[in-house]
């Protein structure tokens, strides 16, 4: 699996650490930048080539960073075929129930659902809210989680693709 990586200044150092961790874990990566820290850079300049690599088939999925991860996800989701989810860190559901109606206090449930139900192909991580250790743990968890190919999930994704 080849992973597209990008960030702006807010996630610059964290992305470099994640890249090393992913490569040590056996993943191939392509870093779309930036190549150097620039406090005045703009995340769309780096998100765009990462999205294009996924859509062209050069990378299977992407992981991007920003301060909050929101703007990066918004930029990514403008590309038809990109389904980018945002991760701020572990959270416990208000109601301790997972998608199947079973009791769950899994603080990673929402991350897992992004793959299971929405087949997210890009993960935007809030670099100012997630530690280096948590970032690698979550990235590997997300990369290894699979889409549930139920008809209802596929139908909804197809409807998303028809919106743009």
Per the CB < 8 A criterion, the answer to whether 136 and 76 are in contact is: no
Whichever domain contains 128, its CATH number is: 3.40.1400.10
Cα 78 to Cα 146: distance, rounded to the nearest angstrom: 23
**What single string gives the DSSP state of each residue in 55-90?**
HHTS-SEEEEEESSSHHHHHHHTTSTT--EEEE-S-
Distance set, CA 81 to CA 21, 43, 158, 161 (Å)? 27, 19, 9, 6
pTM score, two decimals?
0.91
Task: Please report, in tens digits, the pLDDT of each residue of the chain (164 residues total).
Answer: 999 999 999 999 999 999 999 999 999 999 999 999 999 999 999 999 999 999 999 999 999 999 999 999 999 999 999 999 999 888 766 665 555 666 667 888 889 889 988 999 999 999 999 999 999 999 999 999 998 888 988 899 888 888 86
| Domain tally, the chain | 1
Coil vs helix vs strand at 64 = strand
Give the structural domain span for 71. Answer: 2-163
| pLDDT tens-place string over residues 111-127 | 988 998 899 999 999 99
């Amino acid at each position: 699996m080849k992973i597209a990586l990008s960030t702006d200044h807010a996630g610059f150092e964290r992305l470099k650490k994640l890249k090393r961790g992913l490569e040590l874990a056996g993943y191939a990566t392509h870093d779309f930048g930036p190549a150097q820290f620039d406090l005045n850079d703009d995340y769309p300049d780096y998100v765009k080539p990462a999205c294009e690599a996924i859509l062209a088939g050069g990378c299977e999925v992407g992981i991007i960073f920003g301060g909050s991860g929101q703007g990066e996800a918004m930029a990514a989701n403008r590309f038809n075929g990109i389904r980018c989810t945002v991760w701020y860190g572990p959270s416990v559901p208000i109601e301790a129930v997972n998608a199947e109606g079973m009791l769950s206090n899994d603080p990673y449930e929402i991350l897992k659902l992004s793959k299971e139900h929405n087949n997210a192909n890009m993960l935007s991580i809030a670099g100012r809210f997630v530690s280096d250790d948590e970032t690698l743990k979550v990235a590997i968890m997300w990369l290894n989680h699979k889409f549930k190919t139920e008809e209802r999930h596929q139908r909804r994704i197809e409807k998303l693709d028809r919106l743009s």
